[in-house]
Amino acid sequence: MVALAPASRAAALAALPAAELDLLVIGGGITGAGIARDAALRGLSVALLEAVDFAAGTSSRSSKLIHGGVRYLQQGDIGLVREAASERARIRRIAPHLAVPILMVMPTYGRAMHLKLGAGLWSFEKIASVEADERHVMWDRAEALAQEPCLADTGLHGAAAFVEYLTDDARLVFATVAGASAAGALCANHAEVTAVEHGVVTVRDTVGNEAIEARARVVVNAAGPWVEEIWRRSGTRGARGLQLTKGIHLVLDHPRLPLRHAVVMQARDRRSVFAVPRDGITYLGTTDTLFGSPELYPGIETDDVEYLLDAANRTFAGSPLAQRDVLASWAGLRPLLREEGKAPSEISRKDEIATDPATGMISIAGGKLTTYRRMAERVVDLVFARLGRRAPRCTTDEVALPGGESTTLDATTLAKRLPQLTGVEAGRLFRLHGAACERIVARTVEDAAAGEVVAGLAGVLRAEIEHALDEEMALTLEDLLDRRTRSLSFDRQQGLAGVEAAAAIAAARLGWSAARTAAEVQAYRTLAESLRSFA
């Protein structure tokens, strides 16, 4: 059975009541997905349950960078620098399409800043053992302006250019869930854990509207911003509460800010923020402000928007950016561990694993996309200890993620096989799917209609939509256009021009009624609108 086919979801939910699970993981973000894959690869019987959709929480709202760890050097955390740098290399090994090296340009203002930054990067590269071809270069003023003509020249001394990796967070989650499923884990989205009591987990299938009970020897709470809510539902007392902080991103048309490279900008409070070009848009991010109770779509305030636009307007030449230039936005919540008296950006990003002595639940919070694999390894080691079994060696740094297998395909060869796509569009498809593009191309060979671009969705083939529905467990229009094709964030019109066409394909495949189809379209339109209007 295809790893993430809708039928595999149905089979997973049907198998749950009788399954003798070693481990049940709550939450299908990168943390839960990573744990499920590692545990399944090490031979445990595992279930992974996600209330909404895989990656629906923070793991589709990040800045989409696999950090080398330069920033941790600024905080003096050498251990984290080494971990981030080695994990970055491992992600590139197991899924090269999801860790694409890009040049990050950091402008310098004044000689002292230029020298200090150069020395900092030199130390970072020593500590992180950065390969020679990925070491930084320092540009003088003329070179900086030639390489990145958008930079404002006022006060500019030069720039440092260093390598960071760009990922697609939601796609990293799907690849990881698909890997977990292929290794035998029972995986289901739209399956909310409503209660946990003495190892009995009550699950609500929100599609079939059914309650299911599962039993597991160990339960891991990887619910990100909702970790505390799971404590409430299970009578667990967490040692330390969560402190959520919100980070927003703004999407601009690329011609409005036509960057060649990602650029580090200094905000008015001296925090570093980014501008990243990607697939015909440029996005700005991110803020770091305290946030209360978790929400799936945290609201974005005008102040947040002005903060990022102001940083861009200080850094770049050209007519000043204004709110009317913002095509779309996304906001995510960092599930950080509470540290009293600290400002949001001072709270540690380190992960923490805690076991409640009364309920036995293992909870994990904090951390980064970048270090998810190591976090998972530590949690799975602990699960083996709890089971009283010797932990086999973790192999998640060796086994390719689905889509990360070696392939002769790349963006250029893909563009030749799919001449209906532009080079940029073929590049987008390859970065989202990697070697799995073969399966999408195969659909276009079998059925000419599948090779057509969906009306209104630039660069999205019907075959890509069919693949998402048949092989990636997309069950709603939002699953499809937000997290699978990424149109909600990266299409210039948020996918709205193609929403009816995409809904028609989904309706035919998933058996939606006319009323359900209309409701899906309306819900998507309302969501897209909310991401363009700020309080």
Ligand X SMILES: Cc1cc2nc3c(=O)[nH]c(=O)nc-3n(C[C@H](O)[C@H](O)[C@H](O)COP(=O)(O)OP(=O)(O)OC[C@H]3O[C@@H](n4cnc5c(N)ncnc54)[C@H](O)[C@@H]3O)c2cc1C
Interface residues toward ligand X, by CB under 6 A: 26-32, 49-52, 56-59, 61-65, 67, 192-193, 222-226, 230, 247, 286, 332-335, 367-370
Smallest distance, Å, CB 145 to ligand X? 27
Nearer to ligand X, 27 or 403 (CB): 27
Find the shortest distance in angstroms from Cβ 70 to ligand X.
12
Q: By the 8 A CB rule, do 248 and 287 touch?
A: yes
Give the number of other Cβ atoms within 10 Å of residue 388's Cβ: 7
**How many of the other CB atoms lie within 10 Å of CB of 526?**
9
Nearest 5 degrees, angle CA 280-CA 317-CA 100? 35
Q: Which residue has the tokens 């490279």?
A: 261
Integer Cα distance of 275 and 293 in angstroms = 28
Specify the residue, 28 or 495, whose C-beta has the smaller distance to ligand X. Answer: 28
**Which residue, 266 or 413, has its beta carbon nearer to ligand X?**
266
Do 141 and 157 form a contact (C-beta atoms < 8 A)?
yes
Residues 273/286, Cβ–Cβ less than 8 Å:
yes
H or E segment and range at residue 519: helix 514-530
Q: Smallest distance, Å, CB 366 to ligand X?
A: 7
Q: How many CB atoms lie within 10 A of CB 304?
A: 22
* Beta strands at 21-26 and 46-49: parallel, antiparallel or unpaired: parallel
How many Å apart are CA 217 and CA 270, to the nearest integer?
A: 48
72 closest CA partner among 36, 31, 124: 124
In the complex with ligand X, the residue whose CB is nearer, 55 or 117, is 55
Whole-number minimum distance, CB 140 to ligand X, in Å?
29
105 within 8 A of 264, measured Cβ to Cβ: yes
**182 vs 230, beta carbon nearer ligand X:** 230
Query: In the complex with ligand X, which residue's Cβ is closer, 143 or 229?
Result: 229
Q: Which is nearer to ligand X, 379 or 465 (CB)?
A: 379
Beta bridge partners of 160: 106, 138
Nearer to ligand X, 367 or 427 (CB): 367
Min. distance of Cβ 35 from ligand X in angstroms? 9
Closest by CA position to 361, among listed 234, 200, 232: 234
CA distances, 447 to each of 21, 66, 216, 259, 519 (Å) = 41, 37, 44, 38, 29
Which residues are within 8 A (CB) of 318 and not within 5 positions of it... i.e. 6 or more apart?
150, 257
Our CB check for ligand X shows the closer of 58 and 489 to be 58
Q: How far is the CB of 272 from ligand X (least distance, A)?
A: 12
Shortest reach from residue 249's CB to ligand X, in Å: 7
CB of 415 to ligand X, least distance (A): 28
Query: Rounded to an integer, what distance in angstroms lies between the CA atom of residue 353 and that of residue 342?
Result: 21
Work out how close the CB of 470 gets to ligand X at its nearest, in angstroms, rounded to a whole number: 22
